[in-house]
Structure 1
Amino acid sequence: MTYRPLADEIRPQSLDEVVGQRHILGEGGLLRRIIEGGNIPNLVFYGPSGTGKTTVANIIAKRTNRPLHRLNATTASISDIKEIMAAQIGTMLAPDGVLLYLDEIQYFNKKQQQSLLEFMENGKITLIASTTENPYFYVYNAVLSRSSVFEFKPLTAADVLPAVERGIRLMGERLEGEVVCEEGVKEHIASACGGDVRKAMNAVELLLNSAKREQGKLLVTLADAQTVAQRSAMRYDREGDDHYDIASALMKSLRGSDPDAACHYLARLLEAGDLITAIRRLLCSASEDVGMAYPQAALIVKALVDNALQLGLPEARLPLAQAAILLATAPKSNSVYKAIAAAQADIRKGKTGDYPRHLQNVHADSAGMEREQGYLYPHDFPNHWVKQQYLPDALAGSHYYQYGDNKVEQAAKRYWDAIMGGKP
């Protein structure tokens, strides 16, 4: 008997059996109405792996009685599509045309994606493209404009649990034994698979094939389930959307003063082995989000980062977690960010001007120029300050830095207001 993976055996045969995706496949869902109507347009499915994209493509082919050809853009080329056209289009094998399921379309370059257009527009091939990345960034606009885009959302543990239970029943039948699971086994697999049914089925298959058999019963322990499913909940691609989403979530959690969320997203980066992204976000937040409200944070975070780099993983998690908690619980000020952004905005508008004469390097005085520099040395004056113009004439009077409303910056403001006579 030919081996058939459990994930393939359990694959749904109807829309009602598809796990999750109720927003597009539930009663009244748009994609469901399109499929049931039978007039299938070009489609783009995007979402994480194991959420049903391939399954729905198979169901569409079955309902429309059209042959489905599967290609993966990581290995396929336009010549593969031409071969399908030559072999089947216009023959009795495909009187109504074919469905082409192109997986990972983001790996086709722009020229290859443009070449798809001629096949899409003659109506003989209906394209169903899938991608794990945001199609609005990775799919050529002309392809998108000729397609209907549907998002397949990550599955919850509650979505996956019925599939896990069904997989366990099928494995029991396959192995001809009664399956006895310790409490929490099914729930752990459902939650640890990261919303990927395929991963969950692989875990179930491995668990049951290696289960202890006693008196005709297959015994599945929670410890074995935890071992099989460890790290499987991670969905992470250093060059994909997940990379940017996790980095963004960490940064925003630090900014939002939520140490629990900061630790969560930091842990996800560390579990994926991405030490560099975690470090960059922490160093950036120290200046962007804490800034002048607690200037020492930048020094402390830098020291903790140095410790982490010397330790390496897994021990690096401790100083990095300390840095994350410090930043999340520190007072916040974005006055540094706003000041440099405002200054750069003026420069990009062309607002520069010559350096004030008294700020120029004194080498100008020794080059035959007969001008007095007129620079006033602040340390020669009370409180080490003297009024003079520092900005170019074109920007005189401009203000970029505004004191934040935190204790540290307000103390500095009071200090300088007193020295400068209340003038900003």
Structure 2
Amino acid sequence: MDEVTTRVATSNANNILYVANFADNKGFAILAGDDRIQEKVIAVADKSNLTKEDVDAVASFFKNNENYINKVYPTTGDGLFTVKDYPDESFLNPNTFSTYDASMDDNWVGNFREEDNQSVTRAGRPEDDSRKSILTYCAYYARDEVHNGNGSGSDPNDSYTRNTTISDWKDIKQTNNILSAYDHWDQDYPFNDLYPNRRKFLIFGKKRKAPAGCFPLSLAKIMTHFRQPASFSYNGYVVDWGAMNNPYSASGRVSAAVLLKGISEWCGSMYFYAGTFTFPSKASSFLKDMGYNDVHRCNYSYDRVSSMIDNGRPVIIYAIPGIRVWNSHAWIIDGYKIKSRQKETKLYKNGKLIDSSTTTETCRMVHCDFGWGGPCNGYYVDGIFKLDSDKNDYDRPWLRKKDTNYNHHMRIITYK
């Protein structure tokens, strides 16, 4: 039996998976090594064995995901730097860059594009053969189970028979999604039309416009909805709030570009080829400067969010997926719903009914608009922002999902 030990497990659960190979190369089983993992036998294959090298490769993948060293860059020095050939542009050293800025006592928030951040922030996934692919996905599952504490443990009454019937979920309260008119907005054209061009690689110099940024886009949606301030301009151009209803029209394109560039400049956002980063403190200060009152940054709570929604005010939320600070993100919560279902449990002893009970399960969900033009938008269980969870109720379930889990440092911005 081979043991998988990865650093993605929680500190009190170093060994989260075990691999058992069957004799004569006739398959293998992947077993849970932690009581918090609900499925004790996670996967079974009837062909081939997993080697020690396979196990080590997957363990190394998870370790590298947390502590990846990019050999192109030095391991010491400033996290942000300029070079003589491109003095107007800042570059990021992934080995030394920290999202925390002591002078601001705040963390940059931004999300590197998925297709661009692999070479900068993480190692490649070990999918060169099906055996390691199976083990990799099992390790993802086990990591999430351990983190969320979803294991069920053993049943002390296993000599009894318990029959449980669960009804379908039924919505008992649902608000309108306040910013539904803007759920197709994303970080590309025309919203980043006035953004600076940035190079993907320091040496090769391939350039494109920096993405609009998750924080500026979230702020833009709120400002457009309320049309506040009454007049907003940048470099002499005034935003036409009416034209923002169609940002792809001639006048809408200009207003969208002016609005986003004005916000990002006001907030001192940092532009990169793969993402634009903004301090939450500057975003909240910007709202104050725009005439919004009682602007506060506070911990996420359903009560705070639902109160804001009930008063017609969408919420900006920002969070980090575990320790992957490169992928911190800000998005909008603009609605919520509450649903319930009935759970009937009958307990039998030796075939005879001895007890029965019916309970009502209630689930609170919030509606998220992630600012990617539609993908992943929908209802999420209160406080659980796992983008590919089967518990989500998506607006457009046919669109591509991400596997990100925004489960750390969940903060919101409230205002009046």
Both structures adopt the same fold (TM-score exceeding 0.5): no
Structure that is richer in strand per residue: 2
Structure that is richer in helix per residue: 1
Please say which structure displays the higher CA radius of gyration.
1
Where relative contact order (Cα < 8 A, 6+ residues apart) is larger, the structure is 2
TM-score range, shorter chain: under 0.3
TM-score by length of 2: 0.21
